[in-house]
Amino acid sequence: MPNVAANTGNDLNAAYQIDAFQDVSGLILESWGPSARNADYNEALDVIIERLQSRSLDEIGVNVISRDLVDQFPNFTERAILLDSSSSVSLLGREPREIRLEIGRAQARLKIDTSKSGGNRTKRILLHSTLLTPSDWNVVASPAASSSPLLPAVPAGIQSPKSSTQMTVVIERDSNVRAWILRTAAGICELCGQPAPFLDAIGVPFLEVHHVIPLASSGPDTTTNAVALCPNCHRDLHYGAERIMKLKNLYEQIPRLSRAISQN
Ligand SMILES: [Zn+2]
Ligand SMILES: [Zn+2]
């Protein structure tokens, strides 16, 4: 069985396996046993929690799967570590050590002989999350040994984006040109020839008017420089790998188009 790697890259004395237990797959951390077996259990759980936090995972499921407890409590959910009155362990806002101690305390409460005080806080546990694949768990346990990168960290984003005013150049457009283009297209995209993918709010087939030579590049706002496109074709013509070829097709397919640039 492999060992969890410390942040230094060295192996800890803490065996793990990536496996499914009762149909739930995840990382199984072996229990702390006699003769210093898996003596670095605590440190291993700390680095695992730290790595999950660094990937912005909010919570994980933790279930005790020691054999004696599985015999006693066959139902998977009976052996779940329940913190914060939810079915999972929150990873937010606390140090890994704090979270590990809480898991340990919850484990200690799950014991067969309730007359004995104390309880083993270092049992065999299954850590699981629907957001992580087995290869993700391998990276969590041993980052250097794994070839596949873990899920990219989720960016924090901006809670309340500030607004700012920018100067924009507004180019005058003739609304009659737009209307003429759309009416002539009659709901059929002039590039792919397919009907508009949906109706707009007033029940008109949705197409967008695209200027073949952009207005910003001195293209004229005339029917000889505008086409009606479905949203896919429109984005494709702006950003697609084959946009140059498709533009050529457009000129060949639509006789009214002219390559002339306005002179003024
Ligand atoms: Zn189209
Ligand atoms: Zn466009």
Residues 20 and 82 in one domain: yes
CA of 191 to the centre of ligand 1 (A): 5
Structural domain includes residue 162: no
Q: What is the pLDDT of residue 262?
A: 57
- Give the range of the structural domain holding residue 28, as residue numbers without chain letter: 3-141
Ligand 2 centre distance from Cα of residue 243 (Å): 12
Cβ atoms of 125 and 48 closer than 8 Å: no
C-alpha 69 to ligand 2 mean position (Å) = 64
Low-confidence residues of the chain: pLDDT under 50? none
Residue with tokens 């087995």: 134
Residues 102 and 26 in one domain: yes
Nearest partner of 200 among 230, 233, 156, judged by Cα: 230
Show which of 141, 164, 196 is a domain's final residue.
141
77 in the same domain as 199: no
**Residues 137, 206: one domain?**
no
Burial of 81 from C-beta contacts in 10 A (0-12 / 13-18 / 19+): buried
Domain identity same for 125 and 23: yes
Same domain, 11 and 113: yes
119 and 180 belong to one structural domain = no
Is 208 found in the same domain as 119? no
Report the number of distinct structural domains present in the chain.
Answer: 2
Domain of 227: which CATH number? 1.10.30.50
Structural domain contains residue 91: yes
Q: What is the pTM of this model?
A: 0.53
Q: What dihedral angle (degrees, nearest 10) is formed by the CA atoms of 208, 211, 214, 216? A: -70
Cβ proximity of 90 and 83 under 8 Å: yes
Which residue, 59, 60, 61, 51, is CA-closest to 151?
51
Domain-embedded: residue 148: no
Residues 48 and 134 occupy one common structural domain: yes
| pLDDT confidence of residue 150 | 57
Please, which residues have CB within 8 angstroms of residue 50's CB and are 6 or more apart in sequence? 7, 96
pLDDT digits (tens, 9 = 90+) for 76-122: 777 777 665 566 888 888 899 999 998 888 877 776 655 655 667 77
For residue 208, how far is its CA from the centre of ligand 2 (angstroms)? 8
Does 33 reside within a domain?
yes
Dmax (CA) of the chain: 95
Final residue in a domain of this structure, among 120, 141, 162: 141
For ligand 1, the distance from its centroid to the CA atom of residue 202, given in whole angstroms, is 21
Q: What pLDDT sits at residue 259?
A: 81
Q: Do 24 and 69 share a domain, yes or no?
A: yes
262 assigned to some structural domain: no
Final residue of a structural domain among 141, 158, 188:
141
Q: What are phi and psi of 41, to 5 degrees?
A: -50, -50
Residues 185 and 125 placed together within one structural domain of the fold = no
In a domain, 96, yes or no: yes
In a domain, 161, yes or no: no
Do the domain assignments include residue 152? no
Ligand nearest to the CA of 219: 2
